[in-house]
Amino acid sequence: MKKKFYAIAIAVVALLATSCVTIGPGEVGVKVNRGVMDDKVYSPGRYRVGANVNYIRVPIRTVNKEVQLNLPSKEGLNVNAEISILYHIQKDDVPTIIEEIGRNYEDVMILSVFRSASADICAQFYAKDMHSGKRSEIEASILHHMDSLLLDRGFVIESVLMKSISLPNGLYDAIEDKLEAEQEAQRMEFVLQREKLEAERKKIEAQGTADAQRILAEGLSESAIRWRSLEVMQNLSSSPNAKVIITDGKSPMIIGTDEQ
């Protein structure tokens, strides 16, 4: 008798468990009663279901969707890329999304808009740009394009990340050669600029020396030299020491002195 009772209890518990649905954290639910969807958004919890009542669970947490694409470039090349889309659904828009788009909203809206936006944006850039510093610019442009089409529909695009880029064969070597050539050109430009500055420095230095010599030559006129010679002779004549001075009347020459 006890075994029969336990079997019935287990069956009842199982029936009650199967007649409930659990909406977990990071999800919301939309109630469907006899094929008619309720506009109310149900928060995480446990809800009873029946033959005519069911709940559609929709995640509103951030979703990371990774996509493999073959993208066109400005020069007509095909670039293989792995790109991640981070997005979430606005809670209040969940009933409208399910009613107007359906449960496969990711394929219908997110991925279709993403493929179109990625092709349009990448076609404006060269293949090497997707592998260089312009990658962030491309990501931002794709995000902006998607946001302009999806935000009003209840989808928030948080980020677009180009995780890996596979360039066509031979393009890597061409990019490396170009980068090396640009670095060498920059180095030569630096050397030339340095030499130019050094030449200008020497020119200024030579001009300064020439100007100084010119000023000195202009200042040492014949009258100035004779006047300076007279000053020297006057100083010598007033000295108490004995000395012999030979002069031509223009400049003195001291032969010897006899200090006292």
Torsion of CA 192, 196, 202, 203, to 10 degrees: 150
Dist. CA 232–CA 237, nearest whole Å: 9
Give residue-wise pLDDT tens across range 10-30. 544 444 445 888 999 999 999
Q: pLDDT for 179-209, tens place per residue?
A: 566 666 777 787 778 888 888 888 888 887 8
127-170 confidence digits (pLDDT tens): 878 877 788 999 999 999 999 999 999 999 999 999 888 876 66
Distances (CA, A) of 94 to 59, 157, 256: 9, 15, 117
Crossing angle of helices 135-150 and 112-122, in 10° steps, is 140
Q: Which tokens go with 62?
A: 């951030």
With contact defined as beta carbons under 8 Å apart, do 32 and 38 qualify?
yes
- How confident is residue 177, by pLDDT bands cut at 50, 70 and 90? low
Q: Which residues, in sequence order, are bridge partners of residue 199?
A: none
Q: Does domain 63-168 have CATH number 3.30.479.30?
A: yes
Q: Give the gyration radius of the chain's Cα atoms.
A: 46
pLDDT, tens digit, for every residue of 66-115? 999 988 888 888 888 999 999 999 999 999 999 999 999 999 999 999 99
Q: Which amino acid is at 12?
A: V
Domain borders along the chain are 18-59, 63-168, 169-219, 226-258
The confidence score (pLDDT) of residue 250 equals 54
